[in-house]
Amino acid sequence: MKKLLYIAVVLLMAAFSFAEGFDDFKQGMDSGFKDEKSSFDTYKSELEKEFAEYKKIAEAEYAAYRNEILSFWKEAEMSSPTKWVEYTDGLKQKKVVDFENGTWRLEVIGKDYEQAEKDLDALMKDMLGVDRATAFDRDVPARKTDEKAREQLKNIATGTVGGESVIGSAVIGKEHPTKKDIDNAASQLKETVEVKTEPSKTGEMIFVMQGKLPSETYKRKAEELKPSVLKYAEEFKIQPSLVYAVIQTESAFNPMAQSHIPAYGLMQIVPTSAGKDVAQMLMGKPLILTPSYLFNADNNVRAGTAYIHILYYRYLKAVNHPVSRFYCSVAAYNTGAGNVASAFNGRSAGKNRYNVTAAAGIINSMEPNAVYEYLRAKLEYDEARRYIVKVTGAMPSYRYFD
């Protein structure tokens, strides 16, 4: 545990100033306008309605696609933070890459074994060759959410999903693998696997091929992100190893990571919560960060690192000890600063339960090691209690980037 006490000391750096949410946005408006308060209130009300509408759009598209999948498959397997799932050929073919466990799986619905083998071979090469822009275009719920947000909402930030490889470059070890590279890698991945069959929902057969990714894949994914991680870690005064540890914990380096919350991308930014604060800091006012913005890897790393900065240098600035504040910031990335405060203030604090300043008074009376143990034991949600252990445990693996 002593080792943990020092992993965040370098985070004790001077904070730079930036707009402080809605209140600062309001104060920053031109005081010369008589209708300042009215304009701000109108903007705030409009934005809150758009956030609610955005969430409804995302949830509806997710549910609709899930129902489509169930027309062909017994289970609606969909992408998650650590798993990339993609359907093609009218939903009758499926590829699954589990970034966390380092495995892949291909499934084809059909009748003929010989044809299924050809389809699986083509699906394997597609898995290794597909780029992120294509993957986003094939991701029906995310793409439609983005399209409808552009059509129906005004206060949004969109982006362009890059042409980087989803998984192939990390498997092959080349940034831009050729067709020959892909063919060779596909042959190697298939060397020790067999095709299995099982009944399908449609009365046909499901042909399944699965195996493991090369052991170097994970490290190569981290290297691909090095320019963005180092750039934004320096800009926002955060350790690169912390940024990497958050990426590993949130998405296991899955560039197409998503959840139905909704949250998108490597650092799993939620547009309706963390995204608002990040947009306020980076763009001068709260905006909805759409899937196309967050699936851009550079945008996502920038947004996630900026959010760590907001937590450490702003929301939790009343916590004096840098290591204690580091632990609280890590927990807050997962569960929010208010829930971190609640763990210390307790339910008996009533309306003051989520008050960070009140919690800081308690935290400042404790040693950093005790703060860490307290968070592990007292955070309300089990996921948050596990999260702080995972992130602090992952950091040493990326220390060479610091």
Condensed to tens digits (0 to 9), the pLDDT of residues 198-207 reads: 999 889 999 9
Fold of 2-29+225-401: Lysozyme (1.10.530)
Measured from the Cβ of residue 321, the count of other Cβ atoms closer than 10 Å reads 19
Q: What is the mean pLDDT of the chain?
A: 90
pLDDT score recorded for residue 38: 66
18 has a pLDDT exceeding 70: no
pLDDT score recorded for residue 1: 44
137 has a pLDDT exceeding 80: yes
Domains 2-29+225-401 and 77-130+165-214 alike in fold: no
Encode pLDDT of 80-135 as tens digits: 999 999 999 999 999 999 999 999 999 999 999 999 999 999 999 999 999 999 99
Encode pLDDT of 273-323 as tens digits: 888 899 999 999 989 999 999 999 999 999 999 999 999 999 999 999 999
Query: Interhelix angle for 356-363 vs 337-345, to 10°?
Result: 60
Q: Which of 398, 11, 6 is nearest to 238 (CA)?
A: 11
pLDDT score recorded for residue 297: 97
**Which residue's entry shows tokens 């307790």?**
346
| 309-316 contacts, C-beta under 8 A, 24 or more apart | 309/15, 309/236, 309/237, 309/238, 309/281, 310/277, 310/278, 310/281, 311/337, 312/11, 312/238, 313/15, 313/16, 313/237, 314/15, 314/20, 315/356, 316/340, 316/356, 316/360
Q: Residue 36's pLDDT band (boundaries 50, 70, 90)?
A: low
Domain ranges of the chain: 2-29+225-401, 77-130+165-214
Q: Which of 48, 267, 63, 257 is nearest to 145 (CA)?
A: 63
pLDDT score recorded for residue 5: 38
Distance between CA atoms of residues 402 and 397, nearest Å: 11
The domain at 77-130+165-214 falls in which architecture? 2-Layer Sandwich (3.30)
Distance between CA atoms of residues 79 and 263, nearest Å: 11
Q: Which of 43, 42, 8 is nearest to 372 (CA)?
A: 8
The residues, ordered by sequence, that sit 6+ positions from 103 with a Cβ below 8 Å of its Cβ are 97, 210, 211, 212, 213
Sign of CA pseudo-dihedral 17, 19, 20, 26: positive
Encode pLDDT of 254-271 as tens digits: 999 999 889 999 999 988
157 has a pLDDT exceeding 50: yes
pLDDT score recorded for residue 274: 86
